[in-house]
Structure 1
Amino acid sequence: MKYKFASDCHNHSACSPDGHDAIAAMCARAAELGLYAYTLTDHCECQKYEERYRARVENAWAQMGAVRPPEGLRFYRGIELGQPNQDTASAKAALEGRGYDFVIGSVHNIRDYEDFFFLEYKDAPAGYIGSLLETYWRELLELIAWGDFDSLGHLTYPLRYIEGEHGIPVDLKRHREAIDGVLSALIRAGKALEVNTSGLRQKIGRTLPDLPLLKRYRELGGRLVTLGSDAHSTADLGKGIEEGMDVLREAGFTEFAIYEKRQPRMLPLE
């Protein structure tokens, strides 16, 4: 790693339904890469907590407590809460009694729809995609108002599929007011904005969010940012983190945050 403080704070082990490798293997890879800090954030889709995720959350927490990270690796215990705004009781249950270092808040699907990954866009009626995005921004505001998280995950998540996988361009200028509202709400709430580097290894080819939106966040007064590869295997762990740090520097940031006991610890981009 060319950056002394390179850290990966969004990734998934086999404790997630779509993860592939054991926590011990993920930690070993983080140490091998020379990461300054490594935070594991396995999935909890809150609206499916009772049927699919309660046992997974319990298992991930137990395994994170039992793992012995390689010497010198700063290992932090985290979780990614999907759609906590849609089921706040389950979100509370997932956090209760567990002293996480870091909580990501994400919206992977809006109410009454599947994950953006599964939706069909090619033959959609006029206005369909715009309507989806308008609802998505509103649900992000709900998530921020709920508030029991530390960093907002992959702000432009729907574009990973709409633009990246399906090749349908989206003019975000039409959503400028809504996006500014989300960024401003984050800033007022004292929450971080995640730079998710998964897009750099996917068809969309850029960070989520990308440089223009990160510049806008800073223009509005945003200073708290986190970095995560969104890896689901040891093979992808740490990928794009250095490039993400490059993007942050280009956007005018001089530092980023890792979280310990739910408190930000600021590190220089060096």
Structure 2
Amino acid sequence: MLADYHVHSAYSDDSTYPMEQVVRDAIRINLDGLCFTEHVDYGVKPDWDQPAGARFEDGHPVTNCPYPAYFGELERVRERYGTKIRIARGLELGVQTHTITAYERLLHSYGDQLDFTLLSIHQVGDREFWNGAFQEGRTQEQFTMAYYEELLGVVEQFHGYSVVAHLDLIRRYDPTPGCPLPFSAVRDIVAEILSRVIADGHGIEVNTSGWRYGLDGPQPTDDVLQLYRDLGGRIVTLGSDSHKPEHLGAYLRIAQDRLRALGFSQACTYEQGEPRFYEL
């Protein structure tokens, strides 16, 4: 079983990859399943139908996924290609503690059309990681701890997700390359996050884009995965965080090998919000 459960198409603001082409490519590379997980980042992006205040890139407003068009095309490709590959319906929710209410409204409106939701922390206090605004004026330990504190606050208050995506994402945006913060500095708060995730019946993702970004492994690290297993965590999905053809399905088999080496025997896909376990 090889399923990519973190896939973006042109319905995400940072991709131009047509949805049907994604599906065709997934079939060509012999994926058994995939889940589209288009971006939603309330706080820093407005919805597609109310673009006032959006930042512009290449002359176009940067907005959240256009839900009606997205779910409409999803149903069309599921009907057309469903005998060749399993296509799940998902979203990647870039939640912050102050935007939880917006996501609860979103799930009230569209939750019955979703199989799967990723929980990500892409920004804190509407300050982005990718441009360094969040890290500015903080030490490495300060911005790293602030990231995990925000994630803890979100999982304590928000339950409308399936798994936590790239749990240690802040490592990717650490401006001190070659000098990673020791895991011992964050172990206690990561354990608190994982314990809450497990208690609430959720899981975590192994995101293979870490290899693509030069992190020498997936996100999260083996330390996090071992801690999750030791705490009793079983729900794990695998995703490439694909935005382009060359990303799709990348490193999934290597990630499966990594999970087996760490003592995991199963991973998951999702259907109508419920995990479906398969043997690694």
**TM-score, structure 2 length as denominator?**
0.87
2:99 is equivalent to residue 103 of structure 1: no
Distance 1:121 1:192, change over 3 A: closer
- Any conservation in 1 of the 2:12–2:65 contact (CA below 8 Å)? no
- Any conservation in 2 of the 1:31–1:70 contact (CA below 8 Å)? no
Counterpart of 1:71 in structure 2: which amino acid? T
2:41 to 45, 48, 59: 45
Instruction: Report what 1:150 is aligned to.
Output: 162
Instruction: Report what 1:58 is aligned to.
Output: 68
Distance across 2 between alignment mates of 1:258 and 1:117: 29
Structure 1 gaps, min length 5: none
Matches within 5 A, 1:154-173: 154-162=166-174, 166-173=177-184
Could you report, residue by residue, the CA deviation over 1:137-162 in whole angstroms, capped at 9, with x for unpaired residues? 12112221211000101001010121
Could you report, residue by residue, the CA deviation over 1:186-226 in whole angstroms, capped at 9, with x for unpaired residues? 11111111000001122212100022211111011111111
2:14 to 8, 15, 18: 18
Distance across 1 between alignment mates of 2:155 and 2:13: 26
1:83 to 82, 91, 95: 95
2:144 is equivalent to residue 117 of structure 1: no
Could you report, residue by residue, the CA deviation over 1:17-67 in whole angstroms, capped at 9, with x for unpaired residues? 111211100111111111111111010112224345456233322221222
1:207 to 184, 199, 218: 218
Aligned residue pairs, count: 261
- Any conservation in 1 of the 2:9–2:19 contact (CA below 8 Å)? yes
Distance across 2 between alignment mates of 1:55 and 1:203: 28
Could you report, residue by residue, the CA deviation over 1:88-128 in whole angstroms, capped at 9, with x for unpaired residues? 232123323322000111001111421x1211799x66x62
Distance across 2 between alignment mates of 1:95 and 1:59: 17
Instruction: Report what 1:6 is aligned to.
Output: 2
Distance 1:147 1:49, change over 3 A: farther
Counterpart of 1:220 in structure 2: which amino acid? L
Instruction: Report what 1:34 is aligned to.
Output: 30
Distance 1:109 1:233, change over 3 A: same
Instruction: Report what 1:198 is aligned to.
Output: 209
Distance 1:34 1:171, change over 3 A: same
Counterpart of 2:184 in structure 1: which amino acid? K
- Any conservation in 1 of the 2:12–2:64 contact (CA below 8 Å)? no
Identify which range, 87-96 or 248-257, moves more after superposition: 87-96
Distance across 1 between alignment mates of 2:150 and 2:37: 21
1:247 to 232, 240, 258: 258
Distance across 1 between alignment mates of 2:24 and 2:270: 20
Counterpart of 1:260 in structure 2: which amino acid? E
2:195 is equivalent to residue 181 of structure 1: no
- Any conservation in 2 of the 1:46–1:86 contact (CA below 8 Å)? no
- Any conservation in 2 of the 1:187–1:222 contact (CA below 8 Å)? yes
Distance 1:69 1:93, change over 3 A: farther
- Any conservation in 2 of the 1:57–1:94 contact (CA below 8 Å)? no
**TM-score, structure 1 length as denominator?**
0.90
Distance across 2 between alignment mates of 1:100 and 1:85: 22
Name the SS for the 1:206 alignment partner.
coil
Distance 1:189 1:182, change over 3 A: same
Instruction: Please provide the CA RMSD for this pair.
Output: 2.0
Distance 1:167 1:257, change over 3 A: same
2:85 to 73, 77, 80: 73
Q: What is the aligned-residue identity percentage?
A: 30
Distance across 1 between alignment mates of 2:67 and 2:46: 9
2:240 to 226, 229, 242: 229
